[in-house]
Structure 1
Amino acid sequence: MLIGLIGKSNSGKDTTFELINKNSTLLFENVKFAGVLKNTLATLFNTPVDEFENRTFKEAKIYKDKSVRYMLEYFGAAGRKIDESFWVDMAMKNILPHKNYCFTDVKYPNEGLAIKEKGGILIRINRPQTDYNTLMSERFINEIPIDYVLDNSKTVSYLEEQVRAILEDYNTEILLK
């Protein structure tokens, strides 16, 4: 099974992933379309790949005056210039049919389409934010067709109730804990 989570930075995608695993008897693996990109940059700059999930690290300068975030966006765009689906293809080739995956970084329509083509669902997470900078990679998230919307404007318990409702609606194979 495939689930794709769509949302701006700090919208609650990783929390939603944790709630999916908490409330399902199936175990979903957290995968990212940017995973191959992050692994590549980690090798290039001799940095542990885990650092690329750290918000402070993403703002740090990694090459001259360029931040990690800048390098991610620059190299991400370069891959898409080779082929619009370059990073999607790299991520999807590692997806095994008998496993369950949750993509926590769906930001482009072709990423959503790849998940839908494999029978997955797309969930948008809305969270009111007043202090975020819209990233270049977040420009297209409202263009991605979705199956469900989560309102992350209240408590984690409120978010969890919505996640449980989606799991119940999505598939009877996902037994709730």
Structure 2
Amino acid sequence: MHGRIVGFGCRAQVGKDTATNATGFTRMAFADNVRALASRIDPYVNDFGLRLSDAVERLGWEGAKLEIDEVRRLLQELGGGSREMIDTSIWVYPTMTRATELMLDGYNVAISDVRYPNEADAIRSAGGIVIRIDRPDVPRLDHPTENALDDYDFDHVIDNSGTVEELRAAVRAIVGSGS
């Protein structure tokens, strides 16, 4: 049996992780390898000698990005700089290779951080769908990761202005229950 793949985009803090978890699929992110590389470098992320590894251990990745501006900036610059200087698909190749392996083994895969057209296109090329999550009350950040998909033609759009359970129900209505 061959698994399925779905991707969720596009802005920060709109509910992509909640939507991903609602699928019951194996979770992946294009930024997983960005985080792994940042962890290997393990830079100081504040003026008081706090290392990235300590921040992530204490706060988790999401908490560290929200509480310490340098963590979000580091990940954006490392990810975006690699895209610009090496290859726009530098983070797509390893993620989609692993996703394909999982699907061939019968697992369904949900990618939680679709931010660029080539990422969405890679999911579609693997037979998947891409879903935009919109949440009107979230401030829009001025960064390429926040606006590169503004004009992209998503397969589905979910308005996440309701409850968490309404978001989960909307996701399940599109992708099913994870089996």
- Would you say same fold, with TM above 0.5? yes
Count of aligned residue pairs for this structure pair: 160
8 A contact 1:33–1:103 mirrored in 2 = yes
Q: Post-superposition shift, 1:54? A: 2.5
In 2, distance between residues paired with 1:103 and 1:137? 15
Q: Post-superposition shift, 1:58? A: 5.2
Q: 1:58 to 1:90 in 2, by over 3 A?
A: farther
Residue by residue over 1:87-145, the C-alpha shift from the partner in whole angstroms, topping out at 9 and shown as x without a partner, is 11122222212222110000000000110010011011111125443433112122333
1:72 partner letter: L
Match of 1:88 in 2: 92
Q: Post-superposition shift, 1:52? A: 5.9
In 2, distance between residues paired with 1:52 and 1:41? 14
Structure-2-length-normalised TM-score: 0.78
8 A contact 1:52–1:58 mirrored in 2 = no
Percent sequence identity over aligned pairs: 32
Give 5+ residue unaligned stretches, structure 2: 43-51
Q: Which stretch shifts more, 90-99 or 75-84?
A: 90-99
Residue by residue over 1:42-96, the C-alpha shift from the partner in whole angstroms, topping out at 9 and shown as x without a partner, is 11106176666223445526xxxxx111111111122112111111112222221
Give 5+ residue unaligned stretches, structure 1: 22-27, 62-66
Residue 31 of structure 1 is aligned with which of 25, 28, 51? 28
8 A contact 1:11–1:125 mirrored in 2 = yes
Q: What value does the CA root-mean-square deviation take over the aligned residues? A: 2.3
In 2, distance between residues paired with 1:132 and 1:78? 21
Q: 1:59 to 1:158 in 2, by over 3 A?
A: closer
In 2, distance between residues paired with 1:57 and 1:157? 25
The SS at the match of 1:86 is: coil
2:136 partner letter: P
Q: 1:58 to 1:159 in 2, by over 3 A?
A: closer
Match of 1:14 in 2: 17
Q: Post-superposition shift, 1:159? A: 2.0
Structure-1-length-normalised TM-score: 0.79
Match of 1:42 in 2: 39
Match of 1:77 in 2: 80
